[in-house]
Structure 1
Amino acid sequence: MDQQHSRHGYARRCAQAVNSLHSIPYFTTDLADLVAPLGITDHSSVYLVGRASPLGIMNPAVVTAVFNSFAPVLVAERIPALWDLISPERAIQAREEAVAVALERLVGTETTQSPELAEAAKLATAAAAACALPGRPLYAANSALDVPEQPHVALWHAATMLREYRGDGHIAVLGHFGLTGVDSLVIDCASSLGMAKEIVMPMRGWTEAEWAAGRERLADRGLVDPEGRLTPRGTAVRDEVEDETSRLDRQPYDALGPGEVERLARYVHRLVGTAADAGVFPPPLRGFFAPTDDVWNAL
């Protein structure tokens, strides 16, 4: 039982670390600099160009559905119009170019060319390749792409696949608990483990009125109090969501085995920490994306 607990503990820590690695290009200007000459300048458009490009040209309703937490208006204002400015294929190329430059700048050439990183890329790629496609649209879209040749970009690509695999499962769990759209953000921000509303709400394109309506729905269910704080019932539901998400996320890590998962988790955590030390994450978000060793070990 202890070995099983340890194995699943490192799987969860690895999931946290690869999610943070995946997020790095959305906190640098490298992708924005590449697409700005094409007329793509606001942050939400740059984000969608990077993350939605593997889906190809899709109806905005489909993108809204698979992303779950973005306001439909924000997506519809940009999709599919963005693909008139840049093709999904060129966007995929641009994000890989941006990742290559950003990671080399943040962690150094010695690290990006090291045998340790190459081994981590192989482990992450093997884990990502072991996932099943059904019910995982963003994972499936990324899994159809070629594996990048540069090891540090290949590691990021595998981290993205693993992040999207977990995310697809998380959205399914949220749907089971009736927590879709803005409601999923409201309950997450109400937790001490979530990001602040002031960061999340504008980033995802929701209005104050929409946020208040989501809070009212959750209050009617007894999940938050009138001030928007989690109730004991809300805390229990949020914990259930996270536990079930982790259960649905075991496949890639079970495929590696406990020793390899631990090595991958520890390496990516250190790599993200180095990038955080270089200033990639805004100070309010550093603890969220690059937790201290004590916090990370407690996950």
Structure 2
Amino acid sequence: MTTAALEPRAGRRCHHRLNSLHSAHYFSPDLGTELAAIGVTHPRAVNFAVRSAALGAVGPGAVAAAFYNFKYELVAEHVPAVWRTASPEQVLAARVRAVDANLTRLLGKEALASDEMAEAARLALRATEACSRSARPLYAAHADLPVPEEPHLAFWHATTLLREHRGDGHLAVLMSAGLDGLEAVVTHTATGKGMTPSWVFTTRGWTREEWDATAGRLRERGLLGADGELTERGVALREEIETETDRLDRAPYEHLGAEDVARLTKLGTAFARTALAAGAFPADLIGKG
């Protein structure tokens, strides 16, 4: 019996499907409700707290470094002040409650209790067995958290690990490519797959002036055209970045194997489509506008 080789972009496709479901909780009203119950009400404080809580009560430097594309001054407005309102342990517990409520609302109780959800959890958790902690702070911190017992929460936990594992590696590639946080955002938005500028200004703390200055630097480097579109060189650089990210993130999917990666991608796609149809994300989140 021969084992099928893993197709070069199979891990990327699987990650993107799983990350869609993982990321939905950041835009969920349930997250705001649960964090408000423990005293955290500002939307930016909520975001910084829930994603960095696994690191402990860290300061703004650690959060800005790990998140990469958020303006430091915005982070410093809320961190470490948020830890005086709620401890990391309280935030993590509230996050799980929010995810539970969000997935129940988006997917329905029948899907959460299905054999498919249990299978997705099993496969995703097995993939995480090959993740590496080395130079991956957000992944490593989340990997130290316990795996929830409920299949849908275990699945979400595994998608978190896979997301942060790829994300930490991706930041190393961006640094190697010579793109700082805002340059990375501007070039990603130019692909049509990243956040719109208005969402970047609202959530990342950058101003229109800083965006325009960054676009100017990218034009000088030949990565962005006068029309704001990526040049051939820019397109090639973004693809090189994704390909190198694939390489650094290959181990979990090789460990899982081509057949099970395909199965996990299929399951993740089905769940993500249901969530999208239920309004998991704002309509104006992605694009160049």
Letter in structure 1 aligned against 2:165: Y
| 1:70 Cα deviation from its structure 2 partner | 0.5
Structure 2 Cα separation of the partners of residues 93 and 39 of structure 1 = 14
Structure 1, unaligned runs of 5 or more: 289-299
Instruction: Report the CA distance between 1:227 and its aligned residue.
Output: 3.7
> Is structure 2 residue 124 aligned with structure 1 residue 124?
yes
Contact 2:64 2:71 in 1 (8 A): yes
Q: Does 1:36 align with 2:36?
A: yes
Q: Is the 8 A contact 1:11 1:250 kept in 2?
A: yes
2:57 paired residue number: 57
Q: CA deviation at 1:287?
A: 9.1
> What are the Cα deviations for residues 57-94 of structure 1, in whole angstroms up to 9, with x where unaligned?
11211110111010101111111110111100111111
Task: Tell me the residue number matched to 2:272.
Answer: 272
C-alpha contact 1:126 1:256 (8 A) present in aligned 2: yes
| Superimposed CA distance per residue, residues 237-277 of structure 1 (whole angstroms, 9 cap, x where no aligned partner) | 11111111111111100010011111111101110111111
Q: Name which of structure 1's ranges 211-220 and 193-202 shifts more when overlaid on structure 2.
A: 193-202
Q: For residues 202-242 of structure 1, give each alpha carbon's deviation from its aligned partner in whole angstroms, at most 9, with x where no partner exists.
A: 22111112212211221121111234321111111111111
1-side partners of 2:114 and 2:286: how far apart?
A: 25
Distance 1:208 1:287 in 2: 17
1:183 corresponds to: 183
Residue 71 of structure 2 is aligned to residue 71 of structure 1: yes
Q: Distance in 2 between matches of 1:104 and 1:10?
A: 28
TM-score calculated relative to the size of structure 1: 0.91
The aligned runs of 1:190-269 (5 Å cut-off) are: 190-269=190-269
Letter in 1 for 2:125: T
The number of residue pairs the alignment matches comes to 285
Separation (CA, whole Å) in 2 of partners of 1:30 and 1:86: 17
Q: CA deviation at 1:285?
A: 4.1
2-side partners of 1:44 and 1:282: how far apart? 17
Q: Identity rate of aligned residues, in percent?
A: 46
Moved over 6 A (4+): none
After superposition, the C-alpha distances for 1:166-214 in whole angstroms (9 at most, x for unaligned) are 0001000000011121111111111233332222232211111221221
Q: Do the aligned residues in 2 keep the contact of 1:49 with 1:88 (CA within 8 Å)?
A: yes
CA displacement, residues 36-65 of structure 1 (integer Å, 9 cap, x when unaligned): 144322221111121111111112111101
Q: Aligned letter for 2:19?
A: N
Per the alignment, residue 92 of structure 1 pairs with 92
User: Which amino acid in structure 1 is aligned with residue 44 of structure 2?
Assistant: S
What SS class does the counterpart of residue 122 from structure 2 fall into? helix
Does structure 2 retain, via aligned residues, the 8 Å contact 1:129–1:143?
no
- The residue that corresponds to 1:292 in the other structure is none
CA deviations on 1:135-166 (whole Å, 9 max, x unpaired) are 11110000000001111011001001000000
- In structure 2, how many angstroms separate the alpha carbons of the residues matched to 1:211 and 1:283? 22
Residue 164 (structure 2) pairs with residue 145 (structure 1): no
**Pair 33,276 (structure 1): closer, same or farther in 2 beyond 3 Å:** same
The separation in 2 between residues aligned to 1:264 and 1:107, in whole angstroms, is: 17
Cα distance between partner residues in 2 of 1:76 and 1:253: 36
Distance 2:98 2:80 in 1: 22
In 2: Cα distance, 1:285 partner to 1:118 partner? 30
Match of 2:107 in 1: 107
**Partner Cα separation in structure 1 for residue 9 and residue 174 of structure 2:** 22
Distance in 1 (alpha carbons) for counterparts of 2:188 and 2:287: 16
CA–CA separation in structure 2 for the residues paired with 1:76 and 1:103: 31
Mark the runs of 5 or more structure 2 residues left unpaired by the alignment. none
Residue 166 of structure 1 aligns with an amino acid whose one-letter code is R
Give the secondary structure class of the aligned counterpart of 2:147.
Answer: coil
TM-align CA RMSD: 1.7
| Farther-moved stretch of structure 1 (123-132 vs 194-203) | 194-203
| 1:120-146 C-alpha deviation (Å, 9 max, x unpaired) | 101111111221110111100000000
